[in-house]
Every structure is written in C-alpha cells, then in structure tokens.
Structure 1
Amino acid sequence: MKRLPQIALLPDGKRLHLQDGPIDLVIGAQGSEGEVRAAYEAAARRFNGLLDELCEELIELRKAADPACSALSGVVARRMHAAVAPFAAGHFITPMAAVAGSVAEEILGAMLAAAPLDRAYVNNGGDIALHLADGEQFTVGLLDRPDRHGLMRTIDIDADDPARGIATSGRHGRSFSLGIADAVTVLARTASQADAAATIIANAVDLPGHPAIVRCPANELQPDSDLGARLVTRDVGTLGESEIDDALRAGVTRAQQLLAAGLIEGAALRLLGETAVVGATGFKAGALPAFHKGALERTVHV
C-alpha cells in the first residue's frame, strides 16, 4: 500500500498540519476565507510526494557539498545545496543541513502562488519560512533549549525587516551538532539560509578537547548519518563562566562573519543559561543583550 501523508486542520480550525515521515509542518495563514482555503489546498498538493522526491536523491544529499556545483536535480534539493554552498569551501557541510528550511520554503512558495495572503508561515520543526504583507508582523518565541518548552524571550519581525527565515540548531535539536550550544537561533532572508547558517554557528560554539564534553561518532548513534564518523556532542558537564564565555565568543565570531557577509540578519546564541546576540534585525530594544566590545553581557539564568 502506498504511503499517504497526514493532512488535517489542527483542533483550532485555523492551522494546517502536514506530516510525512520526518517532515512535520504546522502552517498558518491570514487572508480571506477563500484565499486561506486555496493556500492550504496548494500546500497539501505540493506536500504530497515531496518526501519521495528528496529520498530519490538522498545519497547525494548526504555527501559533502561542492561549493561550485551540484549534481542534484530536484527543486528542493537544489535549494538545499544553494543554502549550504557558501559554507562548503571552509567547512564540512552537506545539503541536509538545510533540509527543514528548504522544505518550509517550498510549501510557502506553493501557498503564495495560489493566493495573495496577508501573512503566512510554514513551521517545520522550528525552522520557519515566513511571508508578511505591508504592515504585518510576526513574533517568534526563543527557547532556552529546543527540547524544552520554557519561553525565554520573543523576537518581533516586521514587514519592513529583511528576514523571512528563522531556524534553530544546537545539540538538543533533531539533528546532531559538532558544537556545544544549547541553541542558536538565526534570522536570515530565507528559511533555507537560516537553517544552514544556524548549523554553522552552532558548530562553532565549542571548547575543543574539553574533558567535560562527551562526544561520540555520529554513525554509532545513527548508521546512515551524513556526518559519518565525525564526533558529535552527547553531553556537556560543568563549565566555568570563563569557559562558557570562550565557547560563546567563538560562536559570536562566526556569526559576526556571516552577518558581515550578508548571509544572516541576526543570531541569538545560548549556552548553559547564557545568551549572546549578533545583529539588530528582529531583536528589539530591551529584548536581549547584544554582543559588543568587552565581556559578554549576561541574561538571567533560566
């Protein structure tokens, strides 16, 4: 029997839930009743078969990305490669690092092609593709850790802000991490770009060789992991304040490089209750401390 995706409105009757294998989307839209219905129908049509498209090229998607070219043919697969390509020359990264954001983008694109919406989002496990018409706003909740539900702060994204993608990466997320960040949330112009950049920044939050950090080969935990035998973080023991600062500072340096290169619009980095922020877009005054010259400013431990 052919596998069929799960497609249904959530109990609130306003949001659409699409699920197929590891892809789990929550979708919201604002507009006229007919426009929202048309957008949701378009999302469901495009979702049907999307996982199969990706699986057809899974072997290639799990290979280290070539920064210059790609053998991928699917539209989502090519978007994944384009998102990671800017990092591929200097880092090990596969197109899979941008899969969640790229899928969210694809579904949002189908919705917008079907109907003019005031506001819409596609949330793929915390990686969000966003549409805002003039005058609209979207509020994002920042979690201290992706595997917990404690809301730490919020970010407001206005229609005149360039960010239309939000993604979070870290050692507590759905994928493995080479670094020790609890979570790194990135704002970028697209969800696929945010997804790739969050992976790179989260990997940079690290203390290589520290005895309190437990690591093991990714393929011992998941035999088909695209990270192969690379060591991924499994646990972080007690760290001193200066060590937390050092790890965050390494991630901040990487985030500042991406901000200067125009690859991100902002990032919030979190490790053991401490937070540093790079960039201004979406991070409103009084929301989170920014990183600047001198020591890391600290938030209250959560």
Structure 2
Amino acid sequence: MNAPEAHWLADGRRLHLHHGPIDLIIEAFGDGTEMRVAYEQAAARFQTILPELVTELPALRQPSALKPRDFADPTARRMEAAVSPLARTFITPMAAVAGSVADEVLAAMLRGRNLQRAYVNNGGDSALHLAPGQSMTLAIAGTGHGFSDRILVRAEDAVRGIATSGWRGRSFSLGIADAVTVLARNGAEADAAATLIANAVDLPGHPAISRRPALALAPDSDLGDRLVTTGVGTLSRQETAKALDSGLAVAEDFRQRGLIEAAALFLNGAVAVSGEIEPTSHCDHSPFLSTDRSTAKDPAHA
C-alpha cells in the first residue's frame, strides 16, 4: 500500500488526503494562521488512521451488540459507539467507518484551533464544524428525483454529520434504495443509520430484484453470506411506496430515539422524508459542501 498523500486541489482552498481506500476532501474557513495549522493537524493525524484501523479490522468486521466493545484505536471506538445503539439488528462497526474517519480528522483539525467553519468529506460521508452564527449548504448529489438538492445546516442545529447509503454506491446494501441521506449529530452516527435505513427500503423476494451473497463479491466482506442487491428492475408505484414505507418506519424509529435528526429516502423517482430538512436556494452564498451516495463502508472496499 502506498504511503499517505496530501495535496491541494486546483482551487487552492481544499486539501485532498488519500491513503489506500480513504479519500478525503477537507476545507477550513477562518483566520489564515488558524486555517494553516488546522490543515497541518489534519494531515498529521491522517498519517496513522488506516494502519490503526487495519490492526483492529478482524474485530471491526464482527457484529456489534448493544453493549459497546473496547477498542484501542480512537477511530474504531467512534465506529463501535455509533453502531451499538442500532445493534437490535445485524450491524458491524464497518457500517460507520467512513463517517468515523471524517469525525476523527475533523477533531484533529479543531484541536486548539479557532475556526469559523470546517468540513471533512469522506466520499460523501461528512463531518461538519460550525461556530456560532455560521451555516453551511449541503448538496445531496446524484438523486435526480426533483427533491430540492441543497439543504442548509445552521450552527444552532444539532446536525454535524451527513451520510448517504444505497445499493448503487461503492458499498453493499441489503436493500433497494437509490439513496438514503441522513443528518445526525456526527458523521459516524449518520453513516451507520444511513446503512440500516437503506437496508430497510426493500421488497423481499421480489422477482425484479437481483441479489448475490456478499462473500461471492468480496471474500472478506463483513456481511458474510447475506444477500446484497446487485440490480433493481421495474417497480410499480405501489411497490415503490411499500419499500419506502419500510425504510421510513426505521428512520422514524431512529429519529424518535434521538439517533438521527432527519433522513431523506429516494427510490424510483419517489421521495420520503423523516424529520425536518430545510431546503435552500441555489443562489445561497454560504460555504458549499457536495455529497454523494458513494459511501465507503470497509477499508478493503472503499
């Protein structure tokens, strides 16, 4: 595996950090000196994140329980903390790896720093920082369903993480959602919740849906021999609504339990929303963060 890499993007504002499967875009706003040091801190922390995760990878690929396990690595601890409250059903810490990495790098950026805004975008799963009075515009890219594709997050909101999951992304899904975008308190929690909500958008046994065992596609998958979605054919309007309702029930449960702030579910041109998501116009001039539905779940498959 190549060594960690860091370079500036063409705009000179955003730092690109890359190591193996991890691919981050980070940006800070504020005083020039504070920003410079924040970027240096992020790059320094990034050097060891992947080796630390690989050391604990066998345990991270095992199912979690309601009682969190102990991990030595802080990123692994973030992953376990995010999935344990959701462990009434099958889930491993790998469901929160992308969001947890984003949270860990953001924490390193902010340590001792005074920034107005900052974000770490890990393949669409992102962690946010907003000082009092600040806001950020988030774009839910790739949905194409007529849903307002930009939402506003303000400092007074509880949202500091956003993540997207679905069967079309880079990771496996047990469901058929085109995309499920979740807003939560941090990137790890958004990542884990998006995974399970997307899994729940489903029509078990439907002949138009093709599936294969995860191990047949990736021998080291944490999903084992569970069937993952590889194709979705034609669905009726009623079938689409039924599948979305199944996912919406899970999203509502998570929201009522305080595990997420809101979720938007997309399937076959239809949209279901849990909670309040504030749209914003395209002419909004606040800092802009683009997200997508390519959500990496496993260092081996990001």
Residue of structure 2 aligned with 1:221, choices 210, 217, 223: 217
Q: Which runs of structure 2 are paired with 1:54-133 in the superposition (5 Å)?
A: 54-88=53-87, 90-133=88-131
Native 8 Å contact 1:142 1:153 kept in 2: yes
1:210 pairs with one of 192, 206, 211: 206
Q: Distance in 2 between matches of 1:69 and 1:108?
A: 23
Give 2:162's aligned residue: 166
**2:20 matched residue in structure 1:** 21
Ranges of 4+ aligned residues in structure 1 off by more than 3 Å:
284-287
Counterparts of 1:286 and 1:232 in 2: how far apart (Å)?
37
Give the structure-2-normalised TM-score: 0.90
Partners of 1:178 and 1:41 lie apart in 2 by 39
Q: CA deviation at 1:285?
A: 8.2
Change (3 A) 1:243 1:259: same
Whichever residue aligns with residue 131 of structure 1, its letter is: H
Counterpart of 2:297 in structure 1 is none
Equivalent in the alignment of 2:196: 200
Pairwise CA distance, 1:87:
1.2
What do the CA deviations read for 1:51-83 (whole angstroms, capped 9, x no partner)? 000000000000011221314221110110010
Note the 1:204-283 alignment, pairs <5 A: 204-280=200-276, 282-283=277-278
CA offsets 1:85-121 (integer angstroms, 9 cap, x no match): 0111x21100000000000000000110042100000
- 1:261, 1:69 → 2: CA distance? 18
Output the CA distance in 1 between the equivalents of 2:238 and 2:109: 47
2:167 corresponds to 1:175: no
User: 1:49 and 1:151 mapped to 2: Cα distance?
Assistant: 39
1:155-210 residue CA offsets vs partner (Å, 9 max, x unmatched): 11011111000000000112100000010000001110000000010000000010
Assess if the C-alpha contact under 8 Å between 1:216 and 1:234 holds in 2: yes
SS at match of 2:106: helix
1:297 alignment counterpart: none
The answer on 1:185 being equivalent to 2:166 is: no
After TM superposition, the structure 1 stretch with the greater mean CA deviation from structure 2, 108-117 or 178-187, is: 108-117
Contact 2:17–2:23 under 8 Å retained in 1 = yes
SS at match of 1:104: helix
Aligned to 1:12: 11
| Percent of matched pairs sharing the same residue | 56
How many residue pairs get matched? 281
Residue 27 of structure 1 aligns to a residue whose secondary structure is strand
> Secondary structure in 1 aligned to 2:111?
helix
Instruction: Confirm or deny: 8 A CA contact 1:164 1:188 kept in the other structure.
Output: yes
Counterpart of 1:40, as a letter, is: Y
Structure 1 match to 2:33 = 34
Once residues 191 and 136 of structure 1 are traced to their aligned partners in structure 2, the CA distance between those partners, rounded to angstroms, is 19
Is 2:48 aligned against 1:53?
no
Instruction: Please state how far the C-alpha of 1:152 moved relative to its aligned partner.
Output: 5.6
Contact 1:162–1:189 (CA under 8 A) maintained in structure 2: yes
Q: Contact 2:185 / 2:261 at 8 angstroms: preserved in 1?
A: yes
Letter in 1 for 2:278: F
Cα RMSD for the two superposed structures: 1.8
Mapped to 1, the partners of 2:70 and 2:30 lie a distance apart of: 39
**Contact 2:147/2:271 (<8 A) preserved:** no
Matches of 1:286 and 1:42 in 2, distance apart? 34
For 1:286 and 1:252, the matched residues in 2 are separated by: 26
Counterpart AA for 2:57: L
TM-score calculated relative to the size of structure 1: 0.90
1:113-134 deviation digits (Å, cap 9, x = unpaired)? 0421000000000001000011
2:248 partner letter:
V
Which of structures 1 and 2 has the larger relative contact order (alpha carbons within 8 angstroms, sep 6+)? 2
Secondary structure of 1:48's partner?
Answer: helix
SS in 1 for 2:149: strand
Which secondary structure does the structure 1 equivalent of 2:115 belong to?
Answer: coil
